[in-house]
A and B are shown apart, each in its own frame.
Chain A
């Protein structure tokens, strides 16, 4: 558990951090360290330079924007988020208490989890289903992007060299929305073999007007299950219609396979947990 040698930098400001990242394209950003440090200590990864942004001012905490949206600083920890107004989102209230353990939740950051893009991490699916927006800065300036499309592969995102994820914006509350997150955890790691985040919008006569469904643990990265959403939109919200929609959970996805869950099992569980997530979201709505 001894990492290979690396250079360590601790900038005092975001600007200084961005300058370091621009100057050293091979540098890796260290936030809470709950994923990166174990990889380094097991020598599964090696870096030349770590830029430790963990104590940068202004990146931690949740504030409400004027339009009702929430802005979550990238260095906000899981524990912080659970104590913030974000706990009113059903998906987050379901997911956050089961991420890692107490130590991980106290140290691990939201921004770190998103930028790491672990294919079995819970939060990417939650943010996808919430249609979150990401604020990204570099020495050249700031840009915002939707989270959908940000995850490009296992441990690969749309972050460009020199860029730093600084904020995650969540949509404002809606009376017609209910959400839930359910997961089948891998018993050793606690990561999701299948995790499903569902946001459901109510339609006429107890039906479903629309939905945002995202899965993690199943494919190369977390993804929106568009075929499920399409089947749900305008449906009557009956058990049969939900089951029929859930059958599309892995449409177009190369389903992962490992010793804990092979392709057939994961595919079957993606369907079961998609159905359960939708039912749980709908129960909150009703």
Chain B
């Protein structure tokens, strides 16, 4: 028999196979898991941002109903959490590392740091008993602003970090950049703040720890993007428990945006607690308030930006000094985000010949900052895109023309930028391998009707409105990352970033794909199935994709950095290739032909020149798996694993344009239109790509217009709930107008680049530039985000000379 292979699912807008279970309430999220004899943990968190602990009295709590155990930091013999990515890749760099412990033992460094935990029969009893713990606090002065924290006289957080400095890192050619400024025809300077954000996945974090005393083994369920990495970190670095004695499982994960990459204190705590109480499982699920206080935040940069240009608008030099707020202690890869993922990509899609970037990582009395959707690249894009508009404004040149004059030309690739992209000490180079920037810009300008904007602005002015248009012509680094490069730029544990996949085709032809990546809502069960169905010519319905369990999947580094579609998919393609080669040998044996004479067309394996002599992959799998009659030397079973280390990252790019209208009287900003032309290469599933872009754009626009975590001077989080922290809502948006150009990535067989972060990287700068453009008739050339009505009104009043 033969199988029709004309319906190729690769590239088709197929509805996600996960969605029926998610939207009918049949997902299996961490808090859905209930185990026999389960107990519940509640963590007592510091009400102070900076304090010493004189004593903790747990006696009253321990005697409350249902309490099984009360734990304080001194009870736990574990190491502090690991620092996995210090600032690195430059010679002589020093990182003054302080990471959290399972519970604080040396005082607290932010409001919300855990100091004690209660294990009880019910969540209610655990919470009630937690409130009965008495801590004798010695409050200390706090500092929450990264720049102020480095000044003389600021409160000091850690003995090993004078002036609260974590590291002082730099990249690029300082002398060359300084020379470019000395000879510049025009220089623009601006202090810009990239405010702190709270990532807000729909599902908060949680863990279940279970110590099995019979086996002397642990199982840890965690809402995580990286179960394999967490097993490594929790065993080899934190607890000292042997790695083979721990199994980590991430069930369905309801969003993460980066916050679930990291190793958290609560993971170690549930392991310790379950063993302490004799092997009953211990569940901990954070509240939304706890998520705001003690799960990672994002961004929080204060940057001094300088750009040097000639009168034609060509930027000759970019000089950047950034204070990166990393919180009271360091999260797992906190220092890597504002260094490698920021400074090394500052030049964007532009041929800026001289770039120098200094970054000071700073401790403050705030919760730790780490990767949040885009991770460093939105911050870099914001800097360089504001720089382009500042140059345009200074010279009176249209911002679109300034970008055009600075774009890397199409013959520039492969391109190694001057901000140290490929110059990490001793490491492999990465380089921008492809790009074609002007068509995306032209398409987006056409969609927004750029030529008609000036007339529309004049019309708006007649109605007390300011209209503004803003461009963001971005590139991003996705598909992280070649292992040799990521090692060289500072991965502290010497880790790699390859990916893995295993394919098993069973006797019935039904196929199980297991992968080392870890979805959080991206639809991997659909996209991997599309790829494997394409590679093997089998129906998608015959494929199941499994992930998330260190016991059942090959080691993988997890999902973040828009890496699964490029790195993970290539591992699956390689595994499928091994399946095909073994099947080809078996087909040759079954059809009594030479291996080289077997032709493969989808699922059909036939003899060259004799199309009627054919076996399907299902028939071949049956024969291999049974193993009655293998060819000489062939092992039974169609079961192949592949590991893939990518030779390079991928480089999506595009142009986003925002059109905003500002009410002069109130300062209210309305997003009127949003156009995005993205080049994410080939698409595995265009519907999923659109969804990723919609969500990413919404989050990026959220930063520009509404979002911002605010701590007061004492380190209290004023935006401690969704009543005060504004998340973007569908009703805040116009219809998003998406289009594409397609420049396939040369780095993987599909030509895909990754799209998880593109929207968030591009959109903040587009809206910011639009708001500034709208206010430019008043002489305003910069304003820090978010553009709340109050902020914009005050800027308008100030510009008019009114009282504000």
Contact = CB atoms under 8 A, between A and B. Distances in A.
Main secondary structure of the interface of A (DSSP, over half): loop
Contact of A2 (B124, B718, B803): B124
Contacts of A5: 124, 128
Nearest to A265: B790
B794 A265 contact: yes
Contacts of A187: 706, 726, 732, 788
B726 A188 contact: yes
A42 B720 CA distance: 11
B458 interface: no
A275 to B, nearest CB: 9
Given A2-B127, A259-B710, A260-B790, A272 B724 contact: no
Nearest to A268: B793
B718 A259 contact: yes
A261 interface: yes
Interface residues of A, number: 18
Given A188-B726, A260-B790, A272 B710 contact: no
Could you say which interface size class chain B belongs to? Answer: 20 to 34
B725 A188 contact: yes
A42 B706 contact: no
A269 interface: yes
Nearest to B802: A268
Interface string B277-318: 000000000011100000000000000000000000000000
Given A184-B789, A188-B726, A259-B719, A264 B804 contact: yes
A42 B289 contact: yes
Contacts of A269: 666, 789, 793
B723 A184 contact: no
Contacts of B410: none
Interface in B699-727: 706, 710, 718-719, 721-727
Interface in A227-265: 259-262, 264-265
B289 to A, nearest CB: 7
A12 interface: no
Main secondary structure of the interface of B (DSSP, over half): loop
Contacts of A264: 803-804
Interface in B708-759: 710, 718-719, 721-727, 732
B666 A188 contact: no
B723 A188 contact: yes
B666 A184 contact: yes
Contacts of A42: 289, 721
B665 interface: yes
Interface in B99-141: 123-124, 127-128
Nearest to A1: B287
A102 interface: no
Interface in B748-804: 788-790, 793-794, 803-804
Interface string B675-718: 00000000000000000000000000000001000100000001
Contacts of B578: none
Interface in A177-209: 184, 187-189
B668 interface: yes
A4 interface: yes
Given A260-B790, A265-B794, A2 B804 contact: no
Nearest to B710: A259
Contacts of A260: 724, 788, 790
A189 B724 contact: yes
Contacts of B722: 188-189
Contacts of B287: 1
Contacts of B289: 42
Contacts of B803: 264
A265 B289 CA distance: 29
A2 B123 CA distance: 8
Contacts of B710: 259
A272 B666 contact: yes
A247 to B, nearest CB: 14
Nearest to A44: B721
B128 A4 contact: yes
A108 to B, nearest CB: 15
Interface string A21-54: 0000000000000000000001000000000000
Nearest to B725: A188
Nearest to B721: A42
B793 A265 contact: yes
B732 to A, nearest CB: 8
Interface in A1-26: 1-2, 4-5
The winner among A1, A42, A187, A268 for most chain B CB atoms within 10 A is A187
A261 B790 contact: yes
Contacts of B288: 1
The winner among B287, B289, B665 for most chain A CB atoms within 10 A is B665
Given A1-B288, A189-B722, 11 more contacts: A2-B124, A5-B128, A184-B668, A187-B788, A188-B719, A189-B724, A261-B789, A264-B804, A269-B666, A269-B789, A269-B793
10 contacts: A2-B127, A4-B128, A187-B706, A188-B727, A259-B710, A259-B718, A259-B719, A261-B790, A265-B789, A265-B794
3 cross-chain pairs, A with B, having the tightest CB-CB distances, nearest first: A188-B726, A187-B726, A189-B723
